[in-house]
Chain A
Amino acid sequence: MSGLLRRSPWRRPVVLATWTWLYVAWMFVPVVIAFVFSFNGGRSRSVWQGFSLRWWTEDPNASFLHDESLHSALRNSLILAVLTMLIATPLGVALAVGLARWQAKIAKGANWLMLIPLVTPEIVMGASLLLVFSNLYTGVPLGRPAQLLGHVTFSMSYVVVVSRGRLLSIGRDYEEAARDLGATAIQALRMVLLPLLAPAILASFVIVFAMSIDDFVISSFLSSGASSETVPVRIYSAVRTSSTPALNALASFLVFSSLFALALGMLGMTAYRRRRGGGDGESVLTEFAKFEM
Chain B
Amino acid sequence: MRKHEGQWLWGLLAGPGTIWLLLLFALPFYGLACVAFGEIDPIFRNAVAAWNPLDWRFENFGEVMGEILTGSLRRVFVRTFAYVLSAVVLSFLIGYPVAYYLARHAGRWRGLLLALMILPFWVNYLMRMLAWVNLLQVDGWATKAFSAFGFQYNFLDGKGITVIFGLVYGYVPFLVLPLYASLERLDVRLLEAARDLGAGPANAFRMVTMPLSRPGMMAAGVIIALPMFGDYYTNDMLSRSPATEMIGNQVDFYLNGTTQPQKGAVLVLVLSALLVVFMSYYLVTTMRMQRELQA
Residues of A within 8 A of B (CB): 1-2, 5-6, 9-13, 16-17, 19-20, 23-24, 26-28, 30-31, 33-34, 37, 44-47, 91-92, 94-95, 97-99, 101-104, 106-107, 110, 112-125, 127-132, 134-136, 149-150, 152-153, 156, 160, 168, 176, 179, 185-186, 189, 210, 213-214, 216-217, 220-221, 231-232, 235-236, 239-240, 247-248, 251-252, 254-255, 258-259, 262, 283, 285-286, 288-289, 292-293
Main secondary structure of the interface of A (DSSP, over half): helix
The number of chain B residues touching the other chain, given as a range, is 35 or more
Contacts of A150 in B (CB 8 A): 24
* Candidate in B9, B17, B226, B287 with the most chain A CB atoms within 10 angstroms: B17
Known: A20-B101, A216-B233. A285 touches B115 (CB 8 A): yes
The residue on B at minimum CB distance from A233 is: B126
Contacts of A94 in B (CB 8 A): 13-14, 16-17
Is there an interface contact between A114 and B17, defined as CB atoms closer than 8 Å?
A: yes
In-complex Cβ contact of A213 among B34, B124, B134, B252 (8 A): B124
* Candidate in A13, A216, A239 with the most chain B CB atoms within 10 angstroms: A239
The 3 lowest CB-CB distance pairs between A and B, nearest first, are A98-B14, A95-B17, A121-B230
Is there an interface contact between B129 and A13, defined as CB atoms closer than 8 Å?
A: no
Main secondary structure of the interface of B (DSSP, over half): helix
In whole angstroms, what is the CA distance A26 to B201 when docked? 28
Contact bitstring B243-266, A, C-beta under 8 A = 1, else 0:
000001001100110000100110
Contact bitstring B121-144, A, C-beta under 8 A = 1, else 0:
111111111111111010111000
In whole angstroms, what is the CA distance A141 to B49 when docked? 18
Known: A210-B122, A248-B130. A236 touches B255 (CB 8 A): no
Q: How distant is A38 from chain B, measured CB to nearest CB, in Å?
A: 11
Q: How distant is A22 from chain B, measured CB to nearest CB, in Å?
A: 9
The residue on A at minimum CB distance from B265 is: A131
Contacts of A103 in B (CB 8 A): 3-4, 7, 10
Contacts of A214 in B (CB 8 A): 124-125
Please provide the chain B residues from 70 to 118 with a CB less than 8 Å away from any CB of chain A in the complex.
94-95, 97-98, 100-102, 104-107, 111, 113-118
Is there an interface contact between B268 and A34, defined as CB atoms closer than 8 Å?
A: no
Known: A27-B120, A33-B135. A168 touches B26 (CB 8 A): no
Contacts of B226 in A (CB 8 A): 119-121
With A120-B226, A134-B261 already in contact, 10 other A-B pairs whose C-beta atoms are closer than 8 Å: A13-B104, A20-B97, A92-B17, A97-B10, A103-B10, A119-B278, A124-B271, A128-B268, A149-B24, A232-B126
Is there an interface contact between B130 and A247, defined as CB atoms closer than 8 Å?
A: yes
Is there an interface contact between A136 and B49, defined as CB atoms closer than 8 Å?
A: yes
